[in-house]
């Protein structure tokens, strides 16, 4: 039997026998080969070079399909991000202009957004850095400011009572016909002066404690006035101690030295009263402005403030012996008491305005 020629395999594939199944398409230029059972192998797909060339196109089509996918919307009940997370979503949010710490936990809030919260305790930054408009301020800050004005009111009232008691003592020292009335007035005035002097020291210490308890007291509105009031309250306490607690025992042994110490104490106390009066008036006026209230002083707040100046005009009369110095001293202290009463009314009015801004308790 003669061997088939090289062209016979091509003829076999072109006209396969009936019992042979062709399982794959014929690739151009590459005839399918038969396996051991006489069947051809399946086509293995495109050549490797064509596969590599199609990869960028398939990647581009996948990217276009990903862009066409809808972006899921956030859930309606999802909590809004706060703290640093909110700042990343709002890079243009207004930042704190000063180095501030949290009023509650003393966490450093430098660089955080004003509308965010403390990352440590969750307290709103508005409670530590308030708005200028008190109608928009945080309730915690408004409550602190209300307590602060209450302490200032107490200091001013005690200063007025000290001045009134001192005026009674000076009136008792003035010459008069009734010696018994003079002794009674001096005893009552000295006792009242001792009591309200101790109250002045206590209220001044309480005011200083409230101001120093706030770590941002010097940075928030009214910081300069707070510093001045602490200095003035300290001077008042030093003057009361010198004029009452020190000068009294010394006067028993050496009257002249006791009188000198007492006069120095009264001068220090008067200077402290003046400092507290100026800064307390400024602080109360600023509070009313921030609350959107008319800052015009009432008659009771305005008129008593000018009375202490009238005592200066009486000094020449005392120098020439026309009026006894005790009368001038009594009038000066009485006018100081009236001026402090006018300031107390203004502090009370500012405090009442703040109470109206606070939310009603549930």
pLDDT by residue (tens digit) across 66-79? 445 554 554 444 44
Euclidean distance between CA atoms 190 and 341, whole angstroms: 21
Is residue 7 in a domain?
Answer: no
CA dihedral over 95, 101, 107, 108, signed as positive or negative: positive
Torsion of CA 102, 107, 113, 119, to 10 degrees: -110
pTM for this predicted structure? 0.69
268 plus 333 within the same structural domain: yes
Is residue 47 in a domain?
Answer: no
Closest CA relative to residue 221, chosen from 149, 292, 145: 145
At residue 203, the pLDDT reads 94
Per-position b or e across 19-43, b if 16+ CB within 10 A of its CB: eeeeeeeeeeeeebebeeeebbeee
Is residue 179 in a domain?
Answer: yes
125 plus 112 within the same structural domain: yes
Instruction: Find the domain containing 98 and state its range.
Output: 82-129
Q: Which residues contact 122 (CB under 8 A, 6 or more apart)?
A: none
120 plus 241 within the same structural domain: no
| pLDDT tens-digit readout, 179-207 | 777 777 778 888 888 899 899 999 999 99
198 plus 234 within the same structural domain: yes
Which of 92, 113, 129 corresponds to the end of one domain? 129
Is residue 67 in a domain?
Answer: no
Total domains, the chain: 2
Euclidean distance between CA atoms 354 and 245, whole angstroms: 38
pLDDT at 156 over 90: yes
DSSP per-residue letters across 157-201:
HHHHHHHHHHHHHHHHHS--S-HHHHHHHHHHHHHHHHHHHHHHH
220 plus 318 within the same structural domain: yes
- The Cβ of residue 338 has, within 10 Å, a number of other Cβ atoms equal to 18
Which of 113, 129, 145 corresponds to the end of one domain? 129
Is residue 66 in a domain?
Answer: no
Is residue 24 in a domain?
Answer: no
Is residue 54 in a domain?
Answer: no
226 plus 109 within the same structural domain: no
138 plus 124 within the same structural domain: no
Closest CA relative to residue 242, chosen from 216, 286, 272, 211: 272
Phi, psi at 82, each rounded to 5°: -130, 170
Phi, psi at 30, each rounded to 5°: -145, 100
At residue 231, the pLDDT reads 94
163 plus 207 within the same structural domain: yes
Q: What is the mean pLDDT of the chain?
A: 75
| pLDDT tens-digit readout, 219-255 | 888 889 999 999 999 999 999 998 888 887 888 888 8
| pLDDT tens-digit readout, 265-281 | 888 998 999 999 999 99
Is residue 149 in a domain?
Answer: yes
141 plus 123 within the same structural domain: no
104 plus 226 within the same structural domain: no
How many residues does this entry show for the chain?
Answer: 362
167 plus 301 within the same structural domain: yes
Kindly give the residue spans of alpha helices, DSSP state H, lying in 214-324.
223-240, 247-253, 255-290, 299-302, 307-310, 315-319
Higher-confidence position of 173 and 214 = 214
Which of 129, 144, 164 corresponds to the end of one domain? 129
315 plus 238 within the same structural domain: yes
At residue 57, the pLDDT reads 53
């Amino acid at each position: 039997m003669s061997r088939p020629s090289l062209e016979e395999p091509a003829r076999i594939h072109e006209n396969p026998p009936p019992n042979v199944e062709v399982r794959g398409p014929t690739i151009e230029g590459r005839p399918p080969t038969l396996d051991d059972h006489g069947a051809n192998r399946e086509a293995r797909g495109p050549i490797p070079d064509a596969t590599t060339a199609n990869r960028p196109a398939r990647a581009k089509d996948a990217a276009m399909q990903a862009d066409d996918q809808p972006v899921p919307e956030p859930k309606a009940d999802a909590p809004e991000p706060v703290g640093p997370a909110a700042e990343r979503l709002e890079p243009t949010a207004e930042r704190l202009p000063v180095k501030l710490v949290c009023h509650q936990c003393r966490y450093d809030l430098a660089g955080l957004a004003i509308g965010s919260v403390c990352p440590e305790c969750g307290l709103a930054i508005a409670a530590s850095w308030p708005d200028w408009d008190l109608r928009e301020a945080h309730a915690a800050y408004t409550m602190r400011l209300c307590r602060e004005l209450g302490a200032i009111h107490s200091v001013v009232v005690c200063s007025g009572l000290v001045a009134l008691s001192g005026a009674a003592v000076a009136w008792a020292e003035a010459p008069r016909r009734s010696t018994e009335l003079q002794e009674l007035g001096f005893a009552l005035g000295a006792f009242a002066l001792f009591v309200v002097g101790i109250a002045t020291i206590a209220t001044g210490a309480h005011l200083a404690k409230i101001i120093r308890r706030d770590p941002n007291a010097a940075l928030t509105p009214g910081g300069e006035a707070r510093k001045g009031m602490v200095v003035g309250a300290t001077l008042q306490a030093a003057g009361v101690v010198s004029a009452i607690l020190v000068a009294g025992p010394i006067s028993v042994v050496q009257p002249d030295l006791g009188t000198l110490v007492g006069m120095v104490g009264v001068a220090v106390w008067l200077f402290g009263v003046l400092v507290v009066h100026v800064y307390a008036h400024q602080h109360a006026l600023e509070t009313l402005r921030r609350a959107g209230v008319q800052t015009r002083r009432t008659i009771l707040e305005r008129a008593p403030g000018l009375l202490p100046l009238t005592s200066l005009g009486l000094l020449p009369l005392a120098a020439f012996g026309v009026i006894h110095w005790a009368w001038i001293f009594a009038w000066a202290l009485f006018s100081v008491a009236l001026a402090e009463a006018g300031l107390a009314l203004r502090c009370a009015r500012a405090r009442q305005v703040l109470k109206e801004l606070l939310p009603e308790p549930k």
